[in-house]
Chain A
Amino acid sequence: DIQMTQSPSSLSASVGDRVTITCRASQNINKYLTWSQQKPGKAPQLLIYAASNLESGVPSRFSGSGSGTEFTLTISGLQPEDFATYFCHQSHSPPYTFGQGTKLEIK
């Protein structure tokens, strides 16, 4: 199975900050990596697919990069609505594993 190691598990930041979340795959997954956001009691929302493609309707302050085994999600200019949990997900080969999540909290 492909292990997805996401870091940090939690992060405190302020409105306007730039934050980066990292996901590392235990083997090469090319660009089959998505980033999603989840708020309590809500369904996840897709932010980035194929490692770096911004999903339609998602603000441009979200960006993704990487390929192979190292991936990053960057949020430039945090907004109050961005405080949530973020997770990565590999869709290269089954079982399609997830990162453990990063809880982004207001400092």
Chain B
Amino acid sequence: QVQLVESGGGVVQPGRSLRLSCAASGFTFSNYGIHWVRQGPGKGLEWVAVISDDGVYKNYADSVKGRFTISRDNSENTVYLEVSSLKTQDTAVYSCAKDRFPHTSSHFGYFYGLDVWGQGTAVIVSS
């Protein structure tokens, strides 16, 4: 079945880095844009980043721009999120999710929603 599994979270000190992974299975990975979304404790959902199916188009929330980097390896069916210069306000469960339709996330900006989400990986930034 279609599945996304995140890993790489943990407890980290402010200013340090982590690499989160999102492993996909059950669909033609290279056809779909992938997003990262996070939810902090007691907070709502916050969109973090997107990468297009071919990895060319990337976009980030202002709150993480310059500190987070999204990438993908279509040969390994995996998307990565490098999170660096971490702040306490980055503490959250980070989930990846796929575009509802193939070949949609792009420089045009719009897409048709996220249909499959992973369970998330927790990042706790604390000294």
Contact = CB atoms under 8 A, between A and B. Distances in A.
Given A94-B47, A94-B50, A46 B115 contact: yes
Contact of A50 (B112, B118, B119): B112
Contacts of B113: 32, 34, 46, 49-50, 89, 91
A92 B35 CA distance: 14
Which of A34, A43, A89, A93 is the most central at the interface, judged by chain B CB atoms within 10 Å of its CB?
Answer: A43
Contact of A92 (B46, B59, B109): B109
B78 interface: no
A9 B23 CA distance: 33
A49 to B, nearest CB: 4
| Residue of A43, A91, A97 most packed against chain B (CB within 10 A) | A91
Most buried by A among B61, B95, B114: B114
A87 B45 contact: yes
Contacts, number: 67
A50 B115 CA distance: 12
B44 A49 contact: no
Interface string B54-95: 000001011000000000000000000000000000000001
Kindly name the residue among B110, B113, B114, B116 whose own CB sees the greatest number of chain A CB atoms within 10 A. B113
A91 B112 contact: yes
A83 interface: no
A34 B50 CA distance: 17
B117 interface: yes
